[in-house]
Chain A
Amino acid sequence: MIEIEGVSLAFGGRDVLSGIDLTIGAGEFVCVVGPSGCGKTSLLRLIGGLISPTCGEIRINGKPIAGPSRDIAIVFQDYGRALLPWRTAYGNVSLALEASGICAAERGKIILRLLSTLGLAEHASKYPSQMSGGMQQRLQIARCVAQSPGIFLMDEPFGSLDAMTRQVLQDEVLRLAAERHTVTFFVTHDMEEAIYLADRVVALHTNPGRLARVVSVNLSRPRHQLATREHPEFLRLRRELFATMAEFHK
């Protein structure tokens, strides 16, 4: 469970986030949308413990955050740069396990299992530069899963992937989150992606970033790329969110 209470963040004399209150329950999938510069990535970094709020508090399972934790995995937007280019796919997943102090003999089994879970079993000995964007992002997700985290933070992970790859990966993420009962905090600028994935969509207003709207998504799971996206409720939510966003631009 994540509790965000009165969190504000100022950076270089500019208010990035202001007065954010949000509670994310166990196993919940929350998507954050908003115009660029609304501080959605900053909010993710705050939860990840990479930066500290100027005021307010964030608690994970009741405990205030004091820096990054193994229980929180971050999938970075720039997958090309977040992987170690000198390590193979196998080695990149191994990094997360080395950090957890799992002995070398045990690592191999875990790594191969994770790679095959994410459809990378045949690419274990490839370097990131030899993989497509979608595969690189799968690899980053595999590394995060290797942490066996309770919380997944994803920063526009599919922003630069093509539409087909993106849909496949959306379903993979939903499957992983459901199997592992993780809390997922997913930042995106794609409102349809947000509705498709989330239990709740949080829309942020810009300058400074603040909560504009929190929308519950009452669509049954598992989601289906065609049926869910054609569901009247999906379309209603889509209209509602688009209208909210359009108002920001006035």
Chain B
Amino acid sequence: MKNWRGWVLPAIVVVASELLIRQTVTDSDVLVPPSKIAAASVVAMADGSLLHATFETLAAAAGGLALGGGFGLALGILLGISRSAFEVSFLAIEILRPIPAVALIPIAMLIFGFGFRMEISVVAIATLWPVLILSQHAVANVPAVLLEVGRSLCLGRRRTIISIVLPAAAPGLFTAARLAAAYALVVAVTVEIFANPQGLGYALIVSQQMLHPETMLAMLFWVGVIGWGMNSIFLQFQRTFFVRWSNVEQRQS
């Protein structure tokens, strides 16, 4: 394996904590040796509860991302292209953006009650802003020379946007989507921990309250694995589609 070095530190941490916790901690509501967490993971996986919770969390995160990211992307592209649209909306965005999305949980609960719709709406608002800002930035920063090429070829506005602006901004737009996906998972789990009785976050908080630290930590670890897996998929996608020409961009920026 090429990246075996990356596994050294996790292996040391697992083995060391296993030995340390087994020797020193006898009965704790927080600290459990990794072997017990692994056993709890196997149980949760076997009885289907883990996969069911994962499905609920991912569905809410994906729904929210599609909604918030989709709007954010469309608005960001619009504001990146149109200077006047940017100037009109910039102050409103800067005022609304700092409001933490999780602070909207109470309002979302009043409107939607428990369930997917509430969680999706909070994730959507949480992912809207970063996607909007990053995609506006990506579009507004298309190299000036490329735009002049479009002008000198008399491409016209529509064709300039389709043939030059959007492809030039594509790596930036993709990065926005990748970061927003990670954020969507964080927000979905947060909403489940604090309010919504479903998904991994809820499973986590329930095991905490039932004094099952090994299940709680198994959930925690599993959320990390999902986040890592999502990011890997995005990166693989990025390598497949942008690698042939992205090295030019890097060399010259």
Chain A interface residues toward B at CB < 8 A: 48, 50, 67-70, 72-74, 76, 78, 80-82, 84-86, 95-96, 98-99, 127-129, 147
| A82 adjacent to B244 (CB under 8 Å) | no
For B244, the chain A residues whose CB sits under 8 A away are: 127, 129
For A72, the chain B residues whose CB sits under 8 A away are: 152
Greatest chain A CB density within 10 A among B148, B159, B168, B247 is at B148
For B245, the chain A residues whose CB sits under 8 A away are: 85-86, 127-129
B252 within 8 A of A: yes
- One of B145, B154, B167 near A82 (C-beta < 8 A): B145
B163 within 8 A of A: yes
Which residue of B has the minimal Cβ distance to A130? B244
Using an 8 Å CB-CB cutoff, how does the interface string of B149-164 with A read, 1 for contact, 0 for none? 1011111100100011
| Shortest CB distance B171–A (Å) | 9
| A98 adjacent to B143 (CB under 8 Å) | no
> Which B109-152 residues have a C-beta within 8 angstroms of A?
143, 145-146, 148-149, 151-152
B170 within 8 A of A: yes
For A67, the chain B residues whose CB sits under 8 A away are: 151
| A85 adjacent to B154 (CB under 8 Å) | no
B47 within 8 A of A: no
B248 within 8 A of A: yes
B249 within 8 A of A: yes
Which residue of A has the minimal Cβ distance to B245? A85
How many B residues touch the partner, as a band?
Answer: 20 to 34
| A81 adjacent to B143 (CB under 8 Å) | yes
For A81, the chain B residues whose CB sits under 8 A away are: 143, 145-146, 252
| A82 adjacent to B163 (CB under 8 Å) | no
| B148 adjacent to A84 (CB under 8 Å) | no
Greatest chain A CB density within 10 A among B146, B151, B154 is at B154
Q: For the complex, give the distance between the alpha carbons of A33 and B121 in Å.
A: 62
Q: Report, nearest first, the 8 A-B pairs whose CB atoms are least far apart.
A: A129-B248, A85-B245, A85-B248, A74-B152, A81-B145, A99-B153, A99-B155, A68-B151
| A129 adjacent to B247 (CB under 8 Å) | yes
For B153, the chain A residues whose CB sits under 8 A away are: 68, 70, 95-96, 99, 147
Name 6 interchain pairs, CB-CB below 8 A, sorted by A.
A68-B152, A76-B149, A81-B252, A86-B170, A98-B159, A129-B251
For B151, the chain A residues whose CB sits under 8 A away are: 50, 67-68
For B152, the chain A residues whose CB sits under 8 A away are: 48, 50, 68, 72-74
Greatest chain B CB density within 10 A among A72, A86, A95, A98 is at A86
| B146 adjacent to A82 (CB under 8 Å) | yes
11 more CB-based (< 8 A) A-B contacts, given A84-B146, A96-B153, A129-B248: A48-B152, A70-B154, A72-B152, A76-B148, A80-B252, A81-B143, A81-B252, A86-B168, A99-B153, A99-B156, A128-B248
| Shortest CB distance B251–A (Å) | 8
The answer to whether A78 and B145 touch (CB under 8 A), given A50-B152, A127-B244, is yes
> Which B203-253 residues have a C-beta within 8 angstroms of A?
244-245, 247-249, 251-252
